[in-house]
Structure 1
Amino acid sequence: MPTPPVSPAPKAVIPAQQAAMAAAPTLVAPAAGGPGSSLFGRGKKRLEDENQLLRSEITRLMGLDTSAIAAETASFQTALQRARGEYQQLQAQLTNVRAELVRSSAEAELQEVAIYEYRHPLADAVAYKERLADLNVRIKDAARTGNAVQAATAWTVNGSQAEGRKMINETSKLMLRAYNAEAENCVARVQPHRLDSTIERLTKVTETIARLGKTMSIRISPEYHQLRVYELRLTADYRAKVEEEKERIREERERMREEKAAAAEFEREKARLAKEQSHYQAALAKLTAKGDLAAAAEIEAKLQEIGEAIAGVEAREANIRAGYVYVISNIGAFGPGMVKIGMTRRLDPEDRVRELGDASVPFRFDVHALIFSEDAVGLEGKLHAALSAKRVNQVNLRREYFYATPAEVRELLSEIAGQHLLEYHETPEALEWRASHAGRATDDPAR
């Protein structure tokens, strides 16, 4: 008669396991209608699941002996060390990525202010165009003479070297056409501040062609690739130079327009004074004929004033350095920490300020100072030099905006202009901006 199986004796429970089981919480749910019962339905299931998980883990550990627990602990320590190593590697990668992001951000900022370093500086756009034309001839010669592609020479097809050469030539032409198509696309699209990425893109094409043509050792000649890269650099320089010359032309047109407006204003003022002078001269002749010497003396004094005014206008017209330096701001457009410092030869400098506050800005400019000087050009230059570190546009010096408050400019003017500084308004009126802002606040209390 077979002996009935004997159930194995349960493993001894070590004290640590007993303590763990004793410490395992037993959850008691509150009454269904008790406080917080609306949240209990969601929390009860989560707590029961956690309680079951803990008890399952304790049961699993009780089934292990001390050596198994030690082995599992060692395995956990090894995994922990490996995780720490991976974490350190990820931290290093993150540092590198952050550094690259900083570099990219710096490049983006340089693009915004139009800073570009010419790879091959030439005098003007015409010189770049001539250099590109010569380079294009060299590129075509390299492609025509077979120096654009390198390939295997001992290649046979079905034992025929002639068929092998034919296959090599046809494949090489196909690869070169693919490369040139990408190169032409890069030349057509390259922009000065995307030059490096465009060159990298074309270089990857050469690597792809070398990989695909590895069996027959077909690859783009490094010399030919360098010619196309040189073409990209020259093209980027050419386009940057074209934009630079366009900006210079725009600035020159603006200067000529301002000079023309000033000359027209001088002529109008001289014509007005001359007409007034002729009227007084006619009146003087009549008074002299009548023998009214007292009235004639008054007219002569007035004629002397007019003559001095005409002389002053002619002197202003002759002295191209004389004029007004203005300090203006526009809180509504640029905020409270920016001013514009410029110079005008107009007889009425307010006309120039009104032009600057045309439709290109939402609000009119506020005038803080109008300083007349026989050397307004020099005074403007001194102010610009003193505030050079605070220029908004560090590239185009014709943009005369500075990160400065009217109070800071007043201190400089007191030192540089001296007695020329007769009146200064530190606080901008900004009537349009304040009225607009107050209107929005009234319409929408949340603003």
Structure 2
Amino acid sequence: MNRTSVIGLAASAVLAAAGLAAEGNASKALLAAGTASGAGSAVAALLTESKTRKRFAGVLDIEDEISRSSKNLKSVEDRLAKATGSFNSQEEAIERLRNERSEITDEVASMRADLISMRKVIEVENDLQMAGFAARRYLGIDSDALLERLKDNRTRQKEVGKSILDKCQYLNFTYNDSIPQGRAFAKRTVTSWLRGFNAECDAAISTLKHSNDSTVLNKIDKAFNFYEKKAEQQSFPWSSALSGLKEEEAFLVHEHHVEKQREKEEQAEIRREMREEERALREAEEAQRNAEREAEKYEELLRKAKEEAYSETEEAEHLSKIAELERRLAEAEENRERAISRAQMTRSGHVYVISNVGSFGQDVFKVGMSRRLDPMERVKELGDASVPFPFDVHAMIFTEDAPGFEKEIHRQIWEHRVNRVNDRREFFQLSMPELEEATAQAAKNLGVTAEIRWTRYALAEQYRQSVSERFAA
């Protein structure tokens, strides 16, 4: 496009704007001027001459007005954009606050629900406390595993108690012609029964020992039957699970007492064995001293006898006396060596097999061990006032490893033990031939070469005489 064309286009636009302005259409003039805004600068450049300026002064004024209006419009648009951005930001802030309010509302609702739930738990716990299901301490029980089992048992008891009390809320029982009052009355009544039952059972269990479990179980059964009958008479809820759980609790506590008793007896047995070893050692040392004195005595007698033999004529008689003294001296030396060996080997001793028909019946034997020089002293101790009749001895076997031989015999006949709870009770129920075979096998396993002599028949004199006198009377 050449200069003439540009000037013509600009002039046309200016004339159009001027004409519109003259008619009073300022807005249209502005629009026309705006349309020609791209050519405004060209117009300004072309109209440089003063004559031209004067001729088109009105048009130039309109152009200036258009420029100012455009600037104002840009300012308004900027403020509008800023206001719009601020408005959007405020809307976003409002939306965030609404979301926060919703979250807080949900949290408050959740906390209220938790509070209601906690109040209900506390209410139930109070009901169970009133019914005698409070946490219980078991004095003397220090086993964590056992305490955990007891805690689990008490938890299950509380669940049964809660179930019973919950059922009271659904009874069609009326009190003062009111079902709600009837249900409240039923709950109070059942609560008192549960409290009474728990109190009686807890009192019985607190008296448990290792030997009175049957008595305690009878008390639990009696208490349960008493309250169960009351519940049946009024058609109030009750549960047989209460009895089973209380018996389980009693069993767990009894198990603890049995274990404690077993430990107590083991300690007593260890102390007895220590006393036995100490006594056996003293006896061996005393036997050694006696054997040494005996040997010294026969050495002196033999020396004197030999001196007399040289001085007297009755040579044959003195030679016989010397031979007898030499024999006795050899025995004394042998006894001394045995006593020295016995004192040095504290594991040597006797394994005994005894029975007590009058106290324990037929085919019940005790297999034990003693390190004493006279093992019959131990057998007599066992037959003291704790049993009505003395023991009969079926075998007395000396061995250099009495504890080991005793243990091996026990292993051979372990399945025949009478007491399946306390392993320290060395009584076994089996026939005499079975016991002989097991003992022979134990001796073979350990290489015990001592001759084992058996007395199969139990005299049981006092027992048999007592039976005879009883029938004679």
TM-score (norm 1): 0.50
Aligned residue among 439, 454, 462 for 1:413: 439
Name the residue aligned to 1:26: none
Q: Which has the higher helix share?
A: 2
- Structure 2: where are the runs of 5+ without partners? 1-137, 206-211, 310-321
Name the residue aligned to 2:193: 178
Aligned counterparts of 1:415 and 1:316: Cα–Cα separation in 2: 24
Name the residue aligned to 1:127: 143
Shift of 1:349: 1.2
Aligned counterparts of 1:158 and 1:435: Cα–Cα separation in 2: 73
Q: 1:239 is matched by which residue type in structure 2?
A: H
Q: Secondary structure at the match of 1:339?
A: strand
Q: 2:288 is matched by which residue type in structure 1?
A: L
Shift of 1:326: 0.9
Name the residue aligned to 1:399: 425
Q: How does 1:34-73 map to 2 (within 5 A)?
A: none
Name the residue aligned to 2:265: 250
**1:107-160 deviation per Cα after TM superposition (whole angstroms, max 9, x unaligned):** xxxxxxxxxxxxxxx9x93337855996799799999xx997324499999999
Shift of 1:211: 7.9
Is residue 330–residue 363 contact of structure 1 (8 Å, CA) maintained in 2? Answer: yes
The percent identity for this pair of structures is: 25
Aligned counterparts of 2:243 and 2:196: Cα–Cα separation in 1: 12
Q: Which has the higher contact order (CA 8 A, sep 6+)?
A: 1
Aligned residue among 444, 455, 465 for 1:425: 455
**1:216-254 deviation per Cα after TM superposition (whole angstroms, max 9, x unaligned):** xxx57x9xx979965652333112321332244134314
- Residue 326 in structure 1 maps to residue 352 in structure 2: yes
Name the residue aligned to 2:363: 337
Q: CA RMSD in A?
A: 5.4
Is residue 217–residue 250 contact of structure 2 (8 Å, CA) maintained in 1? Answer: no
Is residue 416–residue 430 contact of structure 2 (8 Å, CA) maintained in 1? Answer: yes
Is residue 294–residue 332 contact of structure 2 (8 Å, CA) maintained in 1? Answer: no
**1:235-281 deviation per Cα after TM superposition (whole angstroms, max 9, x unaligned):** 33112321332244134314422431331232243145346647977
Aligned counterparts of 1:432 and 1:374: Cα–Cα separation in 2: 34
Comparing 428-437 with 371-380, greater Cα deviation is found at 428-437
Q: Secondary structure at the match of 1:126?
A: coil
Is residue 179–residue 206 contact of structure 1 (8 Å, CA) maintained in 2? Answer: no
Aligned residue among 263, 283, 287 for 2:278: 263
Aligned counterparts of 1:404 and 1:155: Cα–Cα separation in 2: 64
Q: 2:165 is matched by which residue type in structure 1?
A: V
Shift of 1:323: 2.5
Shift of 1:176: 0.5
**1:183-241 deviation per Cα after TM superposition (whole angstroms, max 9, x unaligned):** 32233336756869957974995796498476xxxx57x9xx97996565233311232
Aligned residue among 298, 301, 311 for 2:340: 311
Is residue 325–residue 372 contact of structure 1 (8 Å, CA) maintained in 2? Answer: yes
Aligned counterparts of 1:375 and 1:227: Cα–Cα separation in 2: 54
- Residue 149 in structure 1 maps to residue 165 in structure 2: yes
Instruction: Report the CA distance shift for 1:132/1:423 in structure 2 as closer, same or farther (over 3 A).
Output: closer
Aligned counterparts of 1:389 and 1:436: Cα–Cα separation in 2: 33
Q: How many correspondences in the alignment?
A: 304
- Residue 188 in structure 1 maps to residue 196 in structure 2: no
Is residue 391–residue 401 contact of structure 1 (8 Å, CA) maintained in 2? Answer: yes
Aligned counterparts of 1:440 and 1:142: Cα–Cα separation in 2: 58
Q: 1:125 is matched by which residue type in structure 2?
A: I
Instruction: Report the CA distance shift for 1:235/1:364 in structure 2 as closer, same or farther (over 3 A).
Output: closer
Aligned residue among 365, 383, 387 for 2:409: 383
Q: 2:453 is matched by which residue type in structure 1?
A: E
Name the residue aligned to 1:98: none
Aligned counterparts of 1:276 and 1:264: Cα–Cα separation in 2: 18
Instruction: Report the CA distance shift for 1:395/1:210 in structure 2 as closer, same or farther (over 3 A).
Output: same
- Structure 1: where are the runs of 5+ without partners? 1-121
Aligned counterparts of 1:350 and 1:269: Cα–Cα separation in 2: 16
Instruction: Report the CA distance shift for 1:183/1:269 in structure 2 as closer, same or farther (over 3 A).
Output: same
Aligned counterparts of 2:157 and 2:360: Cα–Cα separation in 1: 53
Instruction: Report the CA distance shift for 1:183/1:260 in structure 2 as closer, same or farther (over 3 A).
Output: same
TM-score (norm 2): 0.48
Q: 1:126 is matched by which residue type in structure 2?
A: D
**1:41-89 deviation per Cα after TM superposition (whole angstroms, max 9, x unaligned):** xxxxxxxxxxxxxxxxxxxxxxxxxxxxxxxxxxxxxxxxxxxxxxxxx
Q: How does 1:339-358 map to 2 (within 5 A)?
A: 339-358=365-384
Aligned counterparts of 2:389 and 2:173: Cα–Cα separation in 1: 79
Shift of 1:347: 2.4
Aligned counterparts of 1:405 and 1:155: Cα–Cα separation in 2: 67
Instruction: Report the CA distance shift for 1:198/1:313 in structure 2 as closer, same or farther (over 3 A).
Output: same
Q: Secondary structure at the match of 2:396?
A: strand
Name the residue aligned to 1:87: none
